[in-house]
Amino acid sequence: MSAQDTVLVVGAGPSGLSAAATIASMGTKAVIVEKEDILGGAPIISGYAKLVPSGEWAKDAIGRMVSRVERDGNVAIHKSTKVTMLEGEAGNFTATLSNGEKVEAGSIVLGTGFTHFDSINKPEWGFGTYEDVLTTTQLEQMVGTGQIRCPSDGRVPERIAILLCVGSRDRQIGREWCSKICCTVSINLAMEIKEISPSTDVFIYYMDIRTFGLYEEFYWKSQEEFKTKYIKARIAEVTRSPDGRLLVKGEDTLVKRPIVIPMDIVVHAIGMDPNVLNAEIAKTFGIDLEKHGFIDRAEQYTNSQGTTRKGIYVCGAATGPETIDDSITQGQSAGSRAVGDLYRQQEMVS
């Protein structure tokens, strides 16, 4: 392998896997560096259930992406590894890895993704205090088991509340952005709950419903076929009633009245934060972050997968909240740009 025929891909979530497969399909070598000991990114690491919009289990859909790169002779994979130092410049980078190995690469793709919002930062909504207050990732894992039960005592819940926008659209805690996919994911989860546990009623507490584009059909289907109940509300707090159930207290913002409804499980629809490692990633790779802490793009329209450093590209949720489908498309685009750079370098050499 030489710098001129190799692209380094950092992160093996949907975006990085897509970039690596694209690079390899063009006859170029891709070297994947992933910090975890498994590939697949958030959908695999966090054990998502059925994905929107396909309805396919995450382990099957993303599993296919993982197998594709694992089988490809043009892809080398380093798991449980990070890049600790980067030297050189576009066309001739040398990356030192945490396992001591060095990788020479002509260009680089960052698919380093996001970090789930930590609900502990919203203590008034009960997470970390009550066992039956969960996050959407925990609910995804519960759906994956095929059983819906209260963690505290194993009973089948009569009512589940899903609170939207937890850690998104919240200036008080410095998260001004909308996480884009959590409305649709939550609505999909509400329908999955009803399929598994028909006696459970699901209530979605919302500020706005943002099932953008074609995802609007999830919103209608959930009401018409699955009888999901929607409450436009501002939540004040989640407490426990004397009988051990949870009380969701707030204001119904349509009728402007206080409401308190007993629930058996409360779910936080957590948002997508910038990767907690972004400051370290920015320093190692010599790139800039945008004002919220996501990786900045070179230029919105003419170089949308470029970072602020020549020869280093970015894709997926590393640049802001993103869907899997769009992360995959961006991975293809970043991979193509990275390979294009190698050809340009080769032309200059010959």
Cβ neighbour number for residue 112 with a 10 Å cutoff: 28
Q: How far apart are CA 288 and CA 309, in angstroms?
A: 8
- Tell me the closest approach of the beta carbon of residue 341 to ligand FAD, in angstroms: 21
Q: Are 149 and 157 in contact (CB under 8 A)?
A: yes
* Cβ within 8 Å of residue 350, ≥6 positions away: none
Q: Are 156 and 200 in contact (CB under 8 A)?
A: yes
Q: Examine residue 165 and tell whether it contacts ligand SF4 (CB under 6 A).
A: yes
Q: Examine residue 289 and tell whether it contacts ligand FAD (CB under 6 A).
A: no
Query: Closest by alpha carbon to 139, among 112, 114, 121, 166?
Result: 166
- The binder of ligand SF4 chosen from 21, 178, 263, 328 (CB under 6 A): 178
Q: Would you give the binding string for ligand FAD spanning residues 298-317, x where CB under 6 A is met?
A: ------------------xx
Q: Are 170 and 272 in contact (CB under 8 A)?
A: no
- The binder of ligand FAD chosen from 7, 10, 238, 339 (CB under 6 A): 10
Q: Which two tokens stand for residue 259?
A: 């409401």
Q: Examine residue 16 and tell whether it contacts ligand FAD (CB under 6 A).
A: yes
For tokens 């919103």, the residue is 219
Q: Examine residue 66 and tell whether it contacts ligand SF4 (CB under 6 A).
A: no
Q: Are 120 and 127 in contact (CB under 8 A)?
A: yes
Q: Examine residue 274 and tell whether it contacts ligand FAD (CB under 6 A).
A: no
- The binder of ligand FAD chosen from 3, 272, 295, 312 (CB under 6 A): 272
Q: Examine residue 169 and tell whether it contacts ligand SF4 (CB under 6 A).
A: yes
Q: Which does 178 bind (CB under 5 to 8 A by kind): ligand SF4, ligand FAD, none?
A: ligand SF4
Strands 75-78 and 159-166: unpaired
Binding site for ligand SF4 (CB under 6 A): 164-165, 168-169, 178-180, 182-183, 208, 210, 269, 271
Binding site for ligand FAD (CB under 6 A): 10-16, 33-36, 41-43, 48, 51-52, 82, 111-114, 116, 136-137, 140, 181, 185, 270, 272, 275, 277, 281, 316-318, 322-325, 327
